[in-house]
Amino acid sequence: MVTVEIFPALICYNNTIATGNDEEQIMKYISILLSKKLHLLLFIVFLYGCSSGISMKEHVNDWMSRPVSELKQAMKSPDSYASKIGWKETTYPLAGGNSVYVEPFSENCSIHWEITPRGTIIRYRAVGKGCEQESSSDAFIRNLMPPPQ
Tens digit of pLDDT for each residue in 69-112? 999 999 999 988 999 999 999 999 999 899 999 999 988 999 99
> Is a pLDDT exceeding 60 seen at residue 114?
yes
Task: List Cβ neighbours of 81 (8 Å cut-off, separation of 6 or more).
Answer: 87, 104, 105, 106
Indicate the range of 10-14, 20-24, 75-79, 134-138 predicted with least confidence.
134-138
d(CA 21, CA 54): 53
What does the pLDDT read at residue 7?
Answer: 46
With H, G, I as helix, E, B as strand and everything else as coil, classify residue 40: helix
**CA–centroid distance for 53 within its chain:** 2
DSSP assigned state of 76:
T
- The Cα-based distances of 102 to 8, 46, 141 in angstroms read 68, 31, 22
Instruction: For the chain, give the percent of residues with pLDDT over 90.
Output: 39
What does the pLDDT read at residue 23?
Answer: 78
What does the pLDDT read at residue 41?
Answer: 66
d(CA 115, CA 64): 10
> Is a pLDDT exceeding 80 seen at residue 49?
no
Of 125, 122, 124, nearest to 149 by C-alpha is 122
More confident residue, 12 or 130: 130
Of 90, 93, 97, 147, nearest to 124 by C-alpha is 147
